[in-house]
């Protein structure tokens, strides 16, 4: 959510930003919110004048009483009472205007960075750089579900009976490899100086509204029936929510945190839940990075964070590339975002395994997260990035380490988490 003062002073820039995001239907909202704000300001001025008049008249009551003029005092008391009624009415009107303004401001997109390429959707995202040689072996790479099943590591049929489509059982060495990747991701980020956290896996509605747009919430979040609680779609939600309403000492910035959680997503509006595989599922596990920092440090952190994900996957012998997300592919709160994509030797193309975003002060403004500096308080900048989301990350490791005999070579970085095992063999 952008600053209402900025919007009023830069309405044309805000409209141009809306056009860059191909959301022209939101253009009228800019003038509408300015009009509502002006109405609110007028009502506040009336309230201020009424309070001043009430105070002045109240002083007259005391003077008349001291002079023994009770009738005059009683007349003014009635007049003062009408002031109170008018103030109460104006207060309700201001609250209603506030609600309308907030509702509109919540859907006006954040100002994107000047470096963001302009495009309508993810088909117009721009490749930035490749890391590692994308190899296609001379032998066929099976579908990852077939790889797992051949190694007695996947049971989606039973999960269908217990939970429905989009769920799965991981078994044996495949389950162990999955857990090894999560443990390695945790230690990888701790070694980078991030503080490890395990957050709540459910959050309240006001936190949801603080960290994401309404459209994202409807497409992603599972709500707990009869509770003001939602299952998290990523631990970023509860990690940012941790600082809701807090005033942070500037000396404590930056706050660099890495969090583990299971994640739950409805995947409404996506390409559908894949019947056989693990690429798009309702439940997965994730190691996340979250940073709160001074605004002037945000872009440096952004570049460090996505590079950590690249480094992580390269340490697992997975070639990757980075894609700059275009304007139309950015969620409304994001200033700039890039995806990290892993190479699929089976499909001979890249697929998304991580996403890094800087959101400016949008989340901090919604959740009132400020830092106390020498020159006053200010909103912090927030950033998030995927270290590892698996089983999607597991797919990348399986395909890129698949051997001709059907075995999986375990990357050296994961071997200590697998009891020294170097291979997963077909039994």
Determine how many CB atoms are found less than 10 A away from the CB of residue 238: 23
The pLDDT value given to residue 70: 76
Task: Report, in this order, helix, strand and coil percent for the chain, each rounded to 5.
Answer: 45, 20, 30
Phi, psi of 50, deg, nearest 5: -65, -40
Average pLDDT score over the chain: 92
Domain spans in the chain, listed from the N-terminal domain onward: 4-105, 122-424
Query: In whole angstroms, what is the distance from residue 308 CA to residue 343 CA?
Result: 17
pLDDT digits (tens, 9 = 90+) for 160-170: 999 998 899 99
The whole-number average pLDDT for the span 395-423 is: 97
Query: How many residues are given for the chain?
Result: 427
- Residue 384 C-alpha from the chain's centroid: 7
Cβ burial 409-418 (10 Å sphere, 16+ → b, else e): ebbebbeebb
Is residue 268 predicted with pLDDT exceeding 80? no
Domain 4-105 CATH assignment equals 1.20.1090.10: no
Per-residue pLDDT band for 217 (boundaries 50, 70, 90) equals confident
- DSSP structure class, residue 294: -
Asked if 28 and 43 count as a contact pair (C-beta separation under 8 A), the reply is no
Angle between helices 11-20 and 27-66 (to 10 degrees): 140
Which CATH number is 122-424's, of 3.30.930.10, 3.40.630.10, 3.40.50.720, 3.20.20.140?
3.30.930.10
Query: In whole angstroms, what is the distance from residue 171 CA to residue 182 CA?
Result: 16
The pLDDT value given to residue 214: 67
The pLDDT value given to residue 144: 96
Of the candidate ranges 34-38, 53-57, 257-261, the one whose mean pLDDT is the lowest: 53-57
The whole-number average pLDDT for the span 399-418 is: 97
Strand pairing class (195-197; 255-264): parallel
pLDDT digits (tens, 9 = 90+) for 195-204: 999 999 999 9
Per-residue pLDDT band for 219 (boundaries 50, 70, 90) equals confident
Per-residue pLDDT band for 52 (boundaries 50, 70, 90) equals confident
Is residue 331 predicted with pLDDT exceeding 70? yes
The pLDDT value given to residue 259: 98
Residue 149 makes CB contacts below 8 A (sequence gap 6+) with none
Cα Rg of the chain (Å, integer): 28
Alpha carbon separation from 73 to 57, 81, 84, 85 (Å, rounded): 10, 12, 17, 19
Q: Which two tokens stand for residue 21?
A: 């995001």
The pLDDT value given to residue 328: 96
Is residue 64 predicted with pLDDT exceeding 80? no
Phi, psi of 382, deg, nearest 5: -120, 145
Is residue 87 predicted with pLDDT exceeding 60? yes
Query: In whole angstroms, what is the distance from residue 287 CA to residue 293 CA?
Result: 20
Asked if 106 and 333 count as a contact pair (C-beta separation under 8 A), the reply is no
Per-residue pLDDT band for 153 (boundaries 50, 70, 90) equals very high
pLDDT digits (tens, 9 = 90+) for 289-330: 999 999 999 999 999 999 999 999 999 999 999 999 999 999
Q: Which two tokens stand for residue 283?
A: 């439940």
Share of the chain above pLDDT 70, in %: 97
Instruction: Name the nearest CA neighbour of 131 among 319, 304, 311, 305.
Output: 319
Is residue 271 predicted with pLDDT exceeding 80? no
Is residue 23 predicted with pLDDT exceeding 80? yes
């Amino acid at each position: 959510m952008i600053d209402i003062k900025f919007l009023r002073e830069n309405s044309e820039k805000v409209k141009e930003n809306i056009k860059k995001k191909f959301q022209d239907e939101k253009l009228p909202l800019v003038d509408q919110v300015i009009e509502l704000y002006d109405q609110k300001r007028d009502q506040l001025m009336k309230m201020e004048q009424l309070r001043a008049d009430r105070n002045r008249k109240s002083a007259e009551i005391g003077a008349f009483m001291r002079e023994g003029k009770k009738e005059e005092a009683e007349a003014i008391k009635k007049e003062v009472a009408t002031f109170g009624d008018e103030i109460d009415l104006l207060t309700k009107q201001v609250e209603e205007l506030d609600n309308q303004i907030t509702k509109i401001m919540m859907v006006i997109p954040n100002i994107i960075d000047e470096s963001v390429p302009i495009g309508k959707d993810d088909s117009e995202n721009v490749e930035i750089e490749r890391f590692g040689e994308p190899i296609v072996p001379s032998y066929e790479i099976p579908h990852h579900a077939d790889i797992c099943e051949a190694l007695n590591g996947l049971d989606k049929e039973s999960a269908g009976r217990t939970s429905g489509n989009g769920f799965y059982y991981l078994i044996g060495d495949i389950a162990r490899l999955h857990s090894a990747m999560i443990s390695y991701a945790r230690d990888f980020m701790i070694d980078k100086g991030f503080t490890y956290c395990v957050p709540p896996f459910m959050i309240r509605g006001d936190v949801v509204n603080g960290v994401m747009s309404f459209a994202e919430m409807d497409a992603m979040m599972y709500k707990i029936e009869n509770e003001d609680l939602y299952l998290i779609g990523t631990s970023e939600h509860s990690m940012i929510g941790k600082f809701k309403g807090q005033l942070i000492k500037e000396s404590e910035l930056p706050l660099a945190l890495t969090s583990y959680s299971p994640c739950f997503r409805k995947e409404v509006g996506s390409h559908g839940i894949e019947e056989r595989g693990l690429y798009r599922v309702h439940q997965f596990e994730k190691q996340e990075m979250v940073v709160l920092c001074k605004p002037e440090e945000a872009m440096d952190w952004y570049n460090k964070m996505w590079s950590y994900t690249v480094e992580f996957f390269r340490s697992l012998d997975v070639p990757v590339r980075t894609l700059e997300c275009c304007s139309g592919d950015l969620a409304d709160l994001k200033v700039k975002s890039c995806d990290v994509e892993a190479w699929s030797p089976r499909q001979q193309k890249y697929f998304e395994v991580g996403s890094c975003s800087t959101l400016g002060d949008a989340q901090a403004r919604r959740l009132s997260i400020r830092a106390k500096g020498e020159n006053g308080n200010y909103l912090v900048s927030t950033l998030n990035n995927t270290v590892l989301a698996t089983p999607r990350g597991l797919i990348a490791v399986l395909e890129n380490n698949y051997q001709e005999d059907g075995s999986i070579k375990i990357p050296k970085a994961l071997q200590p988490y697998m009891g020294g095992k170097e291979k997963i063999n077909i039994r």
